[in-house]
Amino acid sequence: AGQTPHGAVLGPGAGDNASAALGLSAGAGDCVVSLGTSGVVSAVGDVAPHDAEGIVAGFADATGRQLPLVCTLNGAPVLAAVAAMLRVDFDELDRLALSAPAGADGLTLVPYFEGERSPNLPDATGALHGVTVRNLNSAN
């Protein structure tokens, strides 16, 4: 802590993602996933990201390392929409997801349900790709 010239106390602080990484004791090489209104994936490292396209944002963590992250507008609301479509609660959605094979037999949901900001695609819409008779089921 320190003080301003007028005596106001200054103390260190951190943003939400840096605080989360600190609270989780995330170290170099660790990845943190946060799912709320937005979806965030960050990783603690020693090298600042250099992404000319602006998809990977460069932040510092609370320990002096780097915390590059990718953030999407489409986090938990996508899960809520899928649960509503399947007419299941979140516990059942979890059970279904855990029962699905890794990769969902090639079925991919592009979750741009509310447009997107990273990349900047405000008019983007969601899509379901790779649909076959074999993979179109509630678990996938």
Pick the catalytic residue from 16, 30, 51, 89.
16
Encode burial over 85-114: b for 16+ CB neighbours within 10 A, e otherwise.
eeeeeeeebeebeeeeeeeeeebeeebbbb
Residue 52 belongs to a domain: yes
pLDDT score of 120: 84
Q: Taking residues 108-136, what's their average pLDDT? A: 93
pLDDT score of 125: 96
Could you list the residue range(s) of the whole structural domain that residue 106 is in?
90-129
The pTM assigned to this predicted structure is 0.74
pLDDT score of 85: 95
**Has 16 been annotated as catalytic?**
yes
Residue 102 belongs to a domain: yes
pLDDT score of 11: 82
For residues 17 and 59, is the Cβ–Cβ distance under 8 A?
Answer: yes
Residue 80 belongs to a domain: no
56-108: per-residue pLDDT in tens? Answer: 999 999 999 999 999 999 999 999 999 999 999 999 999 999 999 999 999 99
The chain-wide mean pLDDT, for the chain, equals 93
Residue 50 belongs to a domain: yes
Q: How many domains does the chain have?
A: 2
| Both structure tokens of 119 | 């990349």
Residue 137 belongs to a domain: no
Q: Taking residues 4-12, what's their average pLDDT? A: 89
